[in-house]
Each structure stands twice: as structure tokens, then as C-alpha cells.
């Protein structure tokens, strides 16, 4: 199968306006897949959609949606309509609060849970079900190394990213037998506008070793079939910043899944 055969004819990229989301959209379109681009800023999406159409001749639909809103999923479902989605990229979810848990209103944390957990889960349920029925497709969840442990200033953020990690691993085990690929792409420090803005607010210099958005998108798409986890900058059998390697997590999931399937199949 070509990339477009496996993941087309449409891809939905949530958080597509800048950084890694923009890079994903351009690289997916370069493979001949039409794109639904989702973010909050209409003008930025319009510029990106025109660039993609000019470069690759594919179709682009934009949807101005706040992914933290309680009705975000309903707007996404309406924007996608009857289009056949073969690839869902969940890229939104940078931590822009940057305070201790008790120093921000609880509504700020509820928004973060909506954006990083509930909207992601609902989209995966919709698109994953359609992909399973067709016997092909892919789900790519862009995560953060904070998923492996909490810390001050990241209590809610690391919690939501830990949910995404475990959720994505479970989806991989569930959907792999149906020809649907699932990957948690766990990133370290990446050169995005959101990260640069965070550094600027704190008066910190930009580190020299940031990953580039284009490289992130390239690696993520190339490893999509090798899920469920890829830890940025690490080999498959190397733990690095994670407690365990991607290979050992895969083996653990397979073992637990086999035991779980055996239990529930007898019900």
C-alpha cells in the first residue's frame, strides 16, 4: 500500500496551525492525502490551506475550533461530515498555563483536560470505529515526556499526557488486528512557537538542542506502523528519558492484552 492507500483519502489534523501540527499537515498532503485542518486561528489556517493546495493540489478544509471547549467534538464531527477519514493526528495540547495547580483557576485545568483527554477520546472513538470497519487507517497521538511522571507546575498536564499514553497503547492493542495503526509519539523539547513563548515569558534562552517540527512529523509518520510508542531520540530498545523502552512497553502490552482477551472472551 502507498501512504495514501493506507491513510487516505482524508486526514484530520487537530492543532494544525503552527509547529508540529503544521509540519504534519504539509507532509501528509505531500503524500496525496486531503486534509481537514483544525485550530483556533482562522487566518493562520487559511494561509496553510492555500499553501498546501498550491504545493500538492490536494483538497483542504479548515475548521476554526477551540479544542478545549465542551462542544469541540461536535464541531469536529460537523466539520468532517461524511468524509472518509483514514488518518487522525492529535497534535494540540501544549501546556500554556505554567503555574502550580493551586495558583490557577480550576476552569483552566478543566480546559486542559477537555483538550488533552475528552476531545481526543471522542475523536478516536469516531474515527477509530470507521477505520476498523474499513480495515485500515492510522491514529497518531503526539505526546510529551511528561507522561512518564508528574512534577510541580505540570500536575494536570502530565496527568493528561499519561492518560493519552495508556489510552493510545490500549487502542493499539485493540485496533492492530483490524489493520489500524496507532502510535504515541512521545516528544522531548521541540522548537514550536508555544514552547518559545513559554521560554520568553520566563525570561529563559532558547536551548540549542530543540527538535525541529519537520523532523518530528517525518519520524512520526514513518513510525506510525511500528506503534504503540516511539520515544523521541531513542532507539526502540533504549529507555532514555522513559522508565522503559518502547520495545519493552510493547511486549508488556501484548502480554497483558493476551491475558485480558482470554478473561473477557470467557464472559
Which residues are catalytic, by number? 157
User: Cβ(37)–Cβ(13) under 8 Å?
Assistant: yes
Exposed (0-12), middle (13-18) or buried (19+): which is 65, by Cβ within 10 Å? Answer: buried
User: Cβ(188)–Cβ(177) under 8 Å?
Assistant: no
Task: Output the nine-digit C-alpha cell for 252.
Answer: 508488556
Instruction: Please count the other Cβ atoms lying within 10 Å of the Cβ belonging to residue 180.
Output: 26
What is the Cα–Cα distance from 262 to 227, expressed in whole angstroms? 22
Q: Which residue has the cell 492492530?
A: 176
What is the Cα–Cα distance from 29 to 40, expressed in whole angstroms? 20
Amino acid at each position: 500500500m502507498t501512504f495514501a492507500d493506507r491513510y487516505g483519502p482524508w486526514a484530520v489534523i487537530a492543532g494544525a496551525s503552527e509547529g508540529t501540527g503544521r509540519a504534519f499537515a504539509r507532509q501528509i498532503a505531500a503524500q496525496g492525502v486531503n486534509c481537514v485542518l483544525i485550530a483556533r486561528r482562522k487566518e493562520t489556517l487559511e494561509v496553510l490551506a492555500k499553501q498546501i493546495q498550491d504545493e500538492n493540489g490536494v483538497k483542504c478544509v479548515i475548521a476554526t475550533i477551540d479544542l478545549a471547549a465542551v462542544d469541540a467534538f461536535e464541531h469536529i464531527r460537523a466539520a468532517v461530515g461524511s468524509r472518509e477519514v483514514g488518518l487522525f493526528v492529535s497534535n494540540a495540547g501544549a501546556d500554556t498555563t505554567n503555574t502550580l495547580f493551586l495558583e490557577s483557576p480550576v476552569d483552566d485545568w478543566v480546559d486542559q483536560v477537555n483538550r488533552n483527554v475528552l476531545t481526543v477520546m471522542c475523536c478516536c472513538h469516531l474515527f477509530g470505529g470507521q477505520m476498523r470497519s474499513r480495515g485500515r487507517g492510522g491514529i497518531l497521538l503526539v505526546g510529551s515526556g511528561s507522561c512518564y511522571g508528574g512534577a510541580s507546575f505540570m500536575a494536570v498536564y502530565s496527568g493528561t499526557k499519561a492518560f493519552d499514553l495508556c489510552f493510545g497503547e490500549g487502542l493499539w492493542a485493540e485496533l492492530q488486528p483490524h489493520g489500524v495503526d496507532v502510535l504515541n509519539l512521545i516528544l522531548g523539547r521541540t522548537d514550536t512557537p508555544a514552547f518559545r513563548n513559554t521560554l520568553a515569558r520566563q525570561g529563559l534562552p532558547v536551548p540549542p538542542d530543540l527538535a525541529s517540527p519537520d523532523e518530528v512529523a517525518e519520524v512520526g509518520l514513518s513510525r506510525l506502523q511500528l506503534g504503540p510508542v516511539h520515544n523521541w531520540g531513542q532507539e526502540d530498545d533504549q529507555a532514555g528519558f522513559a522508565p522503559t523502552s518502547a520495545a519493552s512497553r510493547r511486549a508488556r502490552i501484548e502480554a497483558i492484552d493476551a491475558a485480558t482477551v482470554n478473561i473477557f472472551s470467557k464472559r
